């Protein structure tokens, strides 16, 4: 289970969440980036300060194989997008749980955290 960090939570749409108080750092899982292949572009993000609802598309990720939406795993206010991904989208492939993070948001409804999967449940989903 080394490709599914235990300290993160996961959505059914293959986004991961690292909680830091009321702030969620969001990225896509190793499984998702592996299925996409080499990521070549991330963009179409809403403006920083915008509110998004859980399940809303909050950006686009393009790879050599496919284009997919990045979905908000929680509702909240967007604080930041990882500007490093503009010049180096391949960070999503090489370090999906670190330098390849996609967004930070202030959580507006903490009860939604209960809908996310722990590492064991996420592993069951992707197996």
Q: What is the pLDDT of residues 85-110, one digit of tens each?
A: 999 999 999 999 999 999 999 999 99
CATH of domain 9-112: 2.40.50.100
Please report the pLDDT score of residue 3 as a whole number: 86
Per-residue exposure over 75-103, b if at least 16 CB sit within 10 Å of its own CB, e if not: bbebeebbeebeeebebbbeebbeebbbb
d(CA 70, CA 103) in angstroms, rounded, equals 10
The tens digit of pLDDT for each residue in 20-50 reads 999 999 999 999 999 999 999 999 999 999 9
pTM above 0.85, yes or no: yes
């Amino acid at each position: 289970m080394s490709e599914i960090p235990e300290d993160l939570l996961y959505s059914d749409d293959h986004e991961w969440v690292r909680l830091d108080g009321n702030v969620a750092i969001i990225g896509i899982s190793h499984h998702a980036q592996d299925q996409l292949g080499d990521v070549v572009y991330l963009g179409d993000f809403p403006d920083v300060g915008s509110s998004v609802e859980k399940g809303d598309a909050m950006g686009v990720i393009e790879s050599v194989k496919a284009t997919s939406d990045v979905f908000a795993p929680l509702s909240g206010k967007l604080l930041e997008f990882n500007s490093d991904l503009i010049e180096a989208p391949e960070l999503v492939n090489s370090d999906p749980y670190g330098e390849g993070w996609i967004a930070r948001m202030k959580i507006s409804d903490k009860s939604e955290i209960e809908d996310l999967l722990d590492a064991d449940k996420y592993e069951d989903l992707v197996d």
